[in-house]
DNA sequence: ATTTATGCAAATAGTTTGCACACGT
DNA sequence: ACGTGTGCAAACTATTTGCATAAAT
């Protein structure tokens, strides 16, 4: 029963980028919204969480939808290499337009977001100096708790 | 005939980190040295290049050696997401201790290296502010040629 | 009604691993 | 001689894709 659904903010998001409003797309968007700023979810986690809450959505669909969302700039995809040796997995978060960067604690796996205008400024400047425009940037600090 | 070989800089590198001086390890190190600052090689490229020049080295060995080198800080591993859709591959470069960052041109695939002390300083400061020490950092600018 | 999306299962591709043998020290 | 490293083939895993059905406009 998606037809005739109330016009929520999320359905608008989908319409705006030219994607049909389907159950999987809505649910994935809602889940990311709920999880926003708390955690960065992998495709598999999204798949599992949705199915646990009763939405029967295939893993392939999760991947397809996330990929479409990424191209539509609705989500950002990250590859965090926690150095754990286990295979790397992409993780996703809602794209809020604030273009923040990330810090990954190698001991706890915690992800901390931050923004630094000076760093952003210098990045733009460096790119310009080489004759480029920045399309996207990825800054990840792998850290460990300070011992003092 | 590796035994009795002249004590080159590369054999020293291996000894220093406690790795036996074997043919595959030496050749991979030499190849990376030769390619230094020009390109960043994937495991598969290394495998192919070595075999083309007559060194019969298995792909599995290439992966194993690179992984050991990474842990020994002899090489740095990067995941460049060129946004091409094709599966992401790790690529490797000699670790020169200068801790430079990278710019990837989305149109040509070119990789440009750069160092910015101010960015590094701010990174350290941001980590400290959150109670962390930086173990490793990854800054990648995905760029396209300026159109003017 | 037409187009696009979904689910499933099978395919892909990078990377890892088990094991018997070869090599470095 | 001993312990490690290597090659091969098989295993693994994240992700993608083909195809028939189902859902959205």
Q: Model confidence over B109-138: pLDDT tens digits?
A: 889 999 999 999 999 999 999 999 999 999
Nearest to B101 by CA among A71, A130, A110: A130
> How far is the C-alpha of A79 from the C-alpha of A22, rounded, in Å?
27
- For an interface test with A, give the residue of B72, B138, B147 to mutate (most A CBs within 10 A): B138
Q: Model confidence over B76-94: pLDDT tens digits?
A: 999 998 878 888 999 999 9
> How far is the C-alpha of B71 from the C-alpha of A68, rounded, in Å?
36
CA of A80 to C1' of D16 (A): 21
For the segment 39-68 of chain A, residues whose CB is within 7 A of strand D: 42-44, 59-60, 63-64, 67
Strand order in the sheet with A75-79: A41-42, A90-94, A75-79
- Per-residue confidence in pLDDT tens, chain A, 148 aa: 444 456 788 999 999 999 999 999 999 999 999 986 667 999 999 999 999 999 999 999 999 999 999 999 999 999 998 777 888 999 999 998 888 999 999 988 889 999 999 999 999 999 999 999 999 999 999 999 998 7
* β-bridge mates for residue B5, sequence order: none
Angstrom distances, CA of residue B139 to CA of A82, A103, B114: 15, 12, 10
Question: Is the model's pTM score more than 0.75?
Answer: yes
- For an interface test with B, give the residue of A85, A143, A148 to mutate (most B CBs within 10 A): A143
**If you search the block for the tokens 């080198």, which residue do you land on?**
B69
Angstrom distances, CA of residue A34 to CA of A40, A49, B35, B115: 11, 12, 47, 38
Residue B73 touches chain A, beta carbons under 8 Å: no
Instruction: Find out whether B67 and B105 touch, Cβ atoms under 8 Å.
Output: no
């Amino acid at each position: 029963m998606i037809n005739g659904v109330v016009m929520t903010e999320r359905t608008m998001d989908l319409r705006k980028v030219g994607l049909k409003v389907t159950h999987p797309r809505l649910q994935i968007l809602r889940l990311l919204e709920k999880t926003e700023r708390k955690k960065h979810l992998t495709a598999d986690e999204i798949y599992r969480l949705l199915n646990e809450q009763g939405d029967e959505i295939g893993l392939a669909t999760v991947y397809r939808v996330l990929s479409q969302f990424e191209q539509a700039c609705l989500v950002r995809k990250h590859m965090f290499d926690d150095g754990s040796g286990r295979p790397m997995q992409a993780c996703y978060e809602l794209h809020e337009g604030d273009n923040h960067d990330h810090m990954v604690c190698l001991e706890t796996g915690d992800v901390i977001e931050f923004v630094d205008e000076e760093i952003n400024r210098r990045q733009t400047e460096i790119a310009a100096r080489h004759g480029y425009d920045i399309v996207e940037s990825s800054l990840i600090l792998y850290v460990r708790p300070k011992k003092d």
